[in-house]
Amino acid sequence: MKISAMCIRCLMDRQEEKIRGIDDENAKSAYLKEVAGVIASSEDDATAPYLVYEINKAYRRYFGQLPDYSQEKKEFNMLMLKMEAEMEEDIRSGRDREEILGNALNYARTANYIDYGAMNHVEKDTLLELLRNAKKEKVDKSTLERLQEELRAAEEVVYLSDNCGEIVADKLLIRILQEQYPQIHVTVIVRGVPVLNDAVLGDAKDTGLTEIAKVIGNGNGVAGTQLSLLSEEAADAVHKADVIISKGQGNFETLHGCGLNIYYLFLCKCEWFTKRFGMEKLKGVFVKEKDLAS
């Protein structure tokens, strides 16, 4: 997805916010000039997550290590694990296979709220309220029917994860997929190195995701799925997949337009996405790549 003017403004704003508490004004000014240069010199098809990946290199040169989200990751992993049994019971209360799968998709999509990249603050009370209402939301029926049809014929499914905490709900969705389509082999791809509060292999182990599916890192620190930077293992899995389920805005931004057989699942958490999809903030998207205009 090509970067929009709105995204460019947001990139600059978020970088200024990140360094606002630093006293060295000369370093701050030089850094923001370099950030502007990274954006200005980028290729036409550069995406926001990839540009942040490049900007982070400059941040390390000026200010050292990036902000650490390890505590937030641990907190939300634990919070969602405590809720796992309750969420699973609610998912399985569906009347039939289709409703159960729809419930699982809704919970996984709702948990996409736990995003320190798109959100200035992630509030536990807001998350809990969204989860309480998750089953009331409905995924698009025609998209769900197409996913079901493709899963019946699929063998290899790739699940592109996004954030910590959220991956507990992803685990529940994957479990339902495996039960309803026992012939599929699911490969979950997490970030290759820590970035923001995105899930890495250690988080997948901590939440039990590695116990039910194969989990691999993507080989890089982009907060999305930058195809050109994927490890050989991750690239092979993605390109061999019959169906790809892609979680989160960052994965959408880096993948939209690639032509792969992707089903996107995320909440709209910023102004550009609400405008792009014509919906209110924190409402959910479930759409197939091939149904979207560029």
pLDDT tens, position by position, 29-59: 999 999 999 999 998 889 999 999 999 999 9
- Per domain, the residue ranges of the chain are 5-63, 70-291
- Distance between CA atoms of residues 48 and 200, nearest Å: 20
pLDDT score recorded for residue 294: 58
User: Taking the CA atoms of the chain, what radius of gyration do you get in angstroms?
Assistant: 19
- Distance between CA atoms of residues 1 and 253, nearest Å: 5
pLDDT score recorded for residue 233: 98
Other C-beta atoms closer than 10 Å to the C-beta of 133 total 11
pLDDT score recorded for residue 45: 86
Which residues are CB-neighbours of 86 under 8 A, at least 6 positions away?
Answer: none
Tokens coding 201: 């292999």
Which residues are CB-neighbours of 219 under 8 A, at least 6 positions away?
Answer: 192, 229, 230, 231, 232, 233, 234
Average pLDDT over residues 69-82: 97
Count the helices and strands in the chain (H runs, E runs).
Answer: 12, 6
Local structure of 214: helix, strand or coil: strand
pLDDT digits (tens, 9 = 90+) for 191-209: 999 999 999 999 999 999 9
Architecture of domain 70-291: 3-Layer(aba) Sandwich (3.40)
- Distance between CA atoms of residues 175 and 36, nearest Å: 44
Tokens coding 144: 């769900």
pLDDT digits (tens, 9 = 90+) for 249-291: 999 999 999 999 999 999 999 888 898 899 999 999 999 999 9
Instruction: Tell me which residue of 277, 236, 228 sits closest to 254, measured CA to CA.
Output: 228
Confidence of residue 219 (pLDDT cuts 50, 70, 90): very high
- DSSP symbol at 135: G
